[in-house]
A and B are shown apart, each in its own frame.
Chain A
């Protein structure tokens, strides 16, 4: 084969970096052939149903399992005491933070199933295993849990008050962490000397994740090999295995974690949940696989919730509107139990993300992280990043109104300039790249900002208020973490990528294959992805913090380099040339200066067939590499939302939405735009509709989609989407994470537009969600 462009390299063009390649898994998923955990049924499988607390707080007096155990088909009824007796340890303690006085944050011991107190409605206390799902359900209803109710507290500001109900004996005032960051004295000085200080109390509403696929798990144990197997939807099997190891007291080698398709997670499925341990315990105790699948009503109670901050935000400005200092004081409500990201969102991520794209020399964040009798709060799309951007952008619009400066002009006066990189922020991040002023201009042009007044007049004729808002965000994606870059040339001619990020709807297989195809010239349709089998991984940071393309993409690039190194040695032997004369390009190993060479797929085939090789020569092209990861990237963008409000009913409709994003080098624009759309719709949901509500006894008032208002497709306008890319300088692809950005742009742009529409009534702020009732009430209050 002496053609310059063989079929392999042609494939790299069509599937190259920057091409809008559709997702590899779409045909499978669209035909209903996906394999989600609940689709798997193992032979002899049993079914578990969880018994949950129906009160928010109380002491467990007794759990009577006798009646349930005697019911038809029931094979076991277990409580927390059984797990303790079986040697199950404490739940992982998650992240370590320091209090402002330097002491360690509180970390109460938490068992997989509580044995003494229940602390939220939905707290699991027992589980039933039976031959069928219905039998298990019926028996679960017959488990008698006698609880002596205690007063509950759901609001963090109340939970830290003296005399408030206490959730854990060794966590006084329910205060897990008294977090402080920044130069308090400097900020205080700047605030008192400033020409103007804008101050807002902002509630960041608690929301449910509402992923499509409920959590599900199948637990098994093989006594012959002393191995546990857990099948579940999660965000990374390598990390999940690590967490299991600590609770099970088993070596990681004795634990096998498998994940197939995952129908959405948004951060929520990253944590280790008690139900998985229940399935494993019963799997061992009964010698059969045990499946547990949540029901939607239980998902509302037991999947970690998102957001739920309560901050007072202050921005100090000089007489020209230059930002001097930003201060956030408030609470992060983390619910009743630690999740794996407690307490990061309202502490460290508030620090890192709040200044966004603006020069702000001084920053202080004080957060009280507090337990309450509510469902645990976990990471949710952005995990503090969109919240922080939202605080800043709301402050800017408010300051602009208070000081009589145009809100766009105020942003321009404070942008970090395009030539200021690298730029060290007061949170210690080094922004490497970006062009924030140009991005703003680009977005305003796309949104036809200048002709807004014409559209407003037209709305007014129909009796509607119209508002326009911008949200210019910058997110700090996850810090570096080790990730596997495995490449394997399979017997059937396929090439497998093995990496430990995990796709729960993003479509990883496609961009990863594009990267590999681009590096090695391997045909796109021959590339497979293994991500959900812990036995195949030697490292894996999982998915989270918008980092997958940066870490797995980087791992694939480095691993590809190693494949080429090996291939050169073998090709030199095959082509009877010196290794130093072999060049690799377009998927071929060539002897430099000649037209002689061999394609990488052909070389792999020869190796497969068995070739005589000298003893010191590699025998395969396969590579199992650990990439040490790349620094955080700084995706940013400017979103412009336009809303119409019916003043008589308070109904708000997002009528136009434009965005310009800087995601650096984009591997697959189709998937990136999809990520933006999804994030924005979630943002619109949080801004206009969604809110978790508890009553004073800690009962969840919004426990179904009847009472919890999730946005629908009709609630979203068509999106105008444009890119303004400045390649990242700190990772191999030049990429910036895009997964969480939609929320970060949507929350401020939509709410700034709502406030803009209401500004004629003198309204300066309204909290999310701006439901019809809330908007109507704000107007009614402003009119009287």
Chain B
């Protein structure tokens, strides 16, 4: 068995390579998931296709319309982008929770998403931000909401020959912000037992006019919790709204029972984190400084 490595320099070249290849082809961004899986023998690809030589796939562009984040942009670069941090603090804090300083130098949003772990940290934050994945493939480009990419543990909706080129985020409306919180048995370098992200937009009076809520690690895929958003839209996040959000979050959970956390515990903590993330998001939207740590 031989393993070959390719690093195409254009999208077309990459798509041609993916479409024409026989055997298993794996796309390489930062490699912090892929290389670990390779070394442990969990994946045995025939070809590894490194995307990082494709123009635009590394780096962040800020335009009038919003942000374009290259699919393979590492966490460290995301963390240093002041514009993105101001507009989407939830995504930035989630991306920066991944691994350690070393891992941050490589780990990307596309890798985090396409590895399709239910516990991937940046995914709930991207979902609540309304991030759109720009998928390229043999039939050209398509724009896919992030919540439609993952369809099960380790499985994505990408077709053969397709990969993610970049993520698009709109410029947020006034008085909008977000937050991401995760619960882990220790304080860093761990897999989330529960993750919760919330994005909100407020009106001038501080009433929530728009919200998105997403949970990670409590079901086979990250969940967009529409009932949770509805529970707080129209409120100023008073106790009653928080209680409804808590209940809505718990209601959608379908977690596993494992040594990292029992079903009861995960469900309970999902409600708690949803509440707390909502509170931080609202505070941020109100322009108040809030710490990034929970």
Contact = CB atoms under 8 A, between A and B. Distances in A.
B265 to A, nearest CB: 5
Contacts of A715: 186-187
A773 B272 contact: no
A771 B269 CA distance: 14
Interface string A692-717: 01000000011000110101101100
B272 A648 contact: yes
Interface residues of B, number: 17
A776 interface: yes
Contact of B265 (A689, A711, A714, A776): A776
A495 B188 CA distance: 47
Instruction: Tell me the dominant secondary structure on chain B's binding face.
Output: loop
Give the one of A701, A715, A772 with max B CB within 10 A. A772
A457 B260 CA distance: 32
Contacts of B187: 712, 714-715
B188 A714 contact: yes
B274 to A, nearest CB: 11
Given A712-B188, A714-B188, A649 B183 contact: yes
A86 interface: no
Contact of A709 (B186, B262, B265): B186
Contact of B261 (A693, A702, A709, A773): A773
Contacts of A772: 183, 185, 265
A5 interface: no
Contacts of A651: 183
A578 interface: no
B224 to A, nearest CB: 23
Contacts of B185: 689, 709, 771-773
Nearest to A769: B185
Q: Give the interface size class of chain A.
A: 20 to 34
A707 B260 CA distance: 7
A780 B263 CA distance: 14
Give the one of B186, B189, B261, B269 with max A CB within 10 A. B186
Interface string A634-671: 00000000000000111100000000000000000000
A695 to B, nearest CB: 9
Contacts of B191: 706
Interface string B186-199: 11111100000000
B42 interface: no
Contacts, number: 43
Contacts of B272: 648-649
Nearest to A651: B183
A12 to B, nearest CB: 45
A706 B269 CA distance: 21
Nearest to B194: A649
B265 A712 contact: no
B259 A693 contact: yes
A96 to B, nearest CB: 39
A702 B259 CA distance: 9
Interface in B224-268: 259-262, 264-265, 268
A217 B261 CA distance: 39
A777 interface: yes
A701 B259 contact: yes
A598 B183 CA distance: 69
A404 B266 CA distance: 37
Given A773-B265, A777-B265, A689 B259 contact: no
A772 B182 CA distance: 13
A649 to B, nearest CB: 5
A34 B183 CA distance: 38
Interface in A740-784: 771-773, 776-777, 780
Contacts of A773: 185, 261-262, 265
A771 B259 CA distance: 12
Nearest to A650: B265
Contacts of A712: 186-189
Nearest to A771: B185
Contacts of A777: 264-265
A780 B260 CA distance: 18
Contact of B268 (A701, A702, A776): A776
A707 B262 CA distance: 14
Contacts of A701: 259
Contact of B259 (A649, A707, A711): A707
A772 B273 CA distance: 14
Contacts of B262: 773
A456 to B, nearest CB: 21
A494 B183 CA distance: 56
A712 B184 CA distance: 14
A626 to B, nearest CB: 48
Contacts of B261: 773
Nearest to B260: A707
Contacts of B190: 706
Nearest to A776: B265
Contacts of B186: 689, 709, 711-712, 715
Interface in B159-210: 183, 185-191
Contacts of A776: 265, 268-269
Contacts of B260: 707
Give the one of B188, B259, B261 with max A CB within 10 A. B259
A777 B265 CA distance: 8
B132 to A, nearest CB: 33
A692 B183 CA distance: 21
B206 to A, nearest CB: 22
A392 B79 CA distance: 50
A485 to B, nearest CB: 45
Nearest to B246: A648
A738 to B, nearest CB: 28
Nearest to B271: A648
Nearest to B268: A776
Nearest to A713: B187
A138 to B, nearest CB: 12
B266 to A, nearest CB: 9
Contacts of A780: 264, 268
Contacts of B268: 648, 776, 780
A701 B259 CA distance: 8
Contacts of A707: 259-260
A600 B108 CA distance: 66
A712 B189 CA distance: 10
B293 to A, nearest CB: 11
Contacts of B183: 649, 651, 772
Interface in A706-733: 706-707, 709, 711-712, 714-715
Contacts of B265: 650, 772-773, 776-777
A781 to B, nearest CB: 11
Contacts of A702: 259
A776 B185 CA distance: 12
Contacts of A649: 183, 269, 272
A284 B272 CA distance: 63
B166 to A, nearest CB: 32
Nearest to A701: B259
Contacts of A706: 190-191
Nearest to A772: B185
A771 B187 CA distance: 12
Given A715-B187, A772-B183, A772-B265, 6 more contacts: A649-B183, A707-B259, A709-B185, A714-B187, A773-B262, A777-B265
CB-based closest 7 A-B pairs: A648-B272, A773-B265, A714-B187, A709-B185, A709-B186, A649-B269, A701-B259
Interface of B: 183, 185-191, 259-262, 264-265, 268-269, 272
Interface of A: 648-651, 689, 693, 701-702, 706-707, 709, 711-712, 714-715, 771-773, 776-777, 780
7 contacts: A649-B183, A689-B185, A701-B259, A707-B259, A714-B187, A772-B185, A773-B265
